[in-house]
Structure 1
Amino acid sequence: MARLVDRFGRTGFAALTSLMWALPMAAWAGSSDLSPIDKTAYPWIALTIGVVMLVLWLVLLSRLGRVPVSARQRRFDLKQMSRGERRWTLALAAFATGLIAWLNGAATVDWAPLAAAIAAGKVGPALLAISLAVFLIAMLAGVVLSWRRATAAYRERLASFI
């Protein structure tokens, strides 16, 4: 644990290890709406694993402050970030979350009724499809733009540190 904290910093370690509970929770959220159809208990298993891992993650975070770290610049250390870097990193997280939400919805929705309604020439479903496409494009563009700006702010911080 100490090597990972030293490598990624406290914030980076917390973000990276959050995947241990976030992925089972995402599996639960993605499969819970399918469970009434096939009558399985698999969503509850994923939820249980996610909750147990969340508790373990919180225990890890409670011990994180006592782990020594070497003094050097790290990409995702909130204390070291400039205001602009924090802002663009937050924007990146927001756009990435929107993109993941869109992908999760796209993976769990039955698209046949929407496609049939569009094929029948209905305006409402066509507008919904267009708005979903616009949302996807906006999230992708937001991820790319905010990643570039956050990276530029990080490089600027590194240049001023040296």
Structure 2
Amino acid sequence: MIRQLVQRWGRTQFAAVTCLVWFLPLAAWAGSVDLYPGPAPWAAFGLGILLLVAWLVVVARLRTIEVEPRPRRLDFSAMSAAERRWNAVFAVCAICLIGWLNGAATVDWGILTPKLAAGRPGPLALFAGLLVFLLLALAGAVVSWRRSAAAFRARARGHVGGEPVL
């Protein structure tokens, strides 16, 4: 099964997707360790560390798996400059979206809501700024993903017989 996924996705994308196996339990631990006393967050931490070790073993063995040469989306060495640039813009926008969602989930909005209801200009400006930031990050992620996909398609069209055409 691992060989089939590596053949389909390539080594880099396989490593990126499978890192969610250990990343999600560690993210759950980080989000709950200070909020919930007791052993539950630490169980998530222990599970995350065990899965991280297992993931590192799997990733270390990826070099032994032969991969058929063909264009893949996350092949950094074969990416064009435009593709790298749009992937970097997408990563920045995705990080901004994750940060916005993290802030929205962890901030106590009870302090702000009565002031918004009263129509105070400062909280209204903050709220508007947060919404504009969210929309810009979302639009940037969509546009950069589409441009990156177009750059990949252009690179894949130039791929002939196992080697990219320069």
Residue 104 of structure 2 aligns to which amino acid in structure 1? A
Q: How far did 1:97 drift? A: 2.0
Is the Cα contact below 8 Å between 1:30 and 1:104 reproduced in 2? no
TM-score in terms of structure 1 length: 0.87
- Counterpart CA distance in 1 for 2:114 and 2:60 is 52
Q: Which amino acid aligns with 1:5?
A: V
What code does the residue aligned with 2:3 have? A
Report the counterpart of residue 32 of structure 2 in structure 1: 31
Please identify which structure carries the higher helix content.
1
- Residue 47 and residue 124 in structure 1: after superposition, are their counterparts in 2 closer, same or farther (change >3 A)? farther
Contact 2:22 / 2:48 at 8 angstroms: preserved in 1? yes
Distance 1:109 1:29 in 2: 15
Match of 1:58 in 2: 56
1:32-52 CA-to-partner distances (Å, cap 9, x unmatched) read 3432xxx34332222222222
Alpha-carbon distance in 2 for matches of 1:149, 1:76: 14
Match in the other structure for 1:111: 109
Q: Is the 8 A contact 2:70 2:159 kept in 1?
A: no
Verify: 1:67 aligned to 2:68, yes or no.
no
- The separation in 1 between residues aligned to 2:51 and 2:87, in whole angstroms, is 26
SS of residue matched to 1:113: coil
Structure 1: 5+ residue stretches without partners: none
Deviations, residues 57-113 of structure 1 (Å, cap 9, x unaligned): 222221111211011111112122112112211221221122122122222333222
1:4-153 mapped onto 2 (5 Å cutoff): 4-35=5-36, 39-153=37-151
CA–CA distance in structure 2, aligned partners of residues 83 and 146 of structure 1: 14
**For this pair of structures, how many residues does the alignment match?**
159
CA positional deviation for 1:55: 2.0
Instruction: Give the Cα separation in 2 of the matches to 1:134 and 1:33.
Output: 31
Gaps of 5+ in 2: 161-166
> What is the aligned-residue RMSD (CA, Å)?
1.8
| Letter paired with 1:138 | L
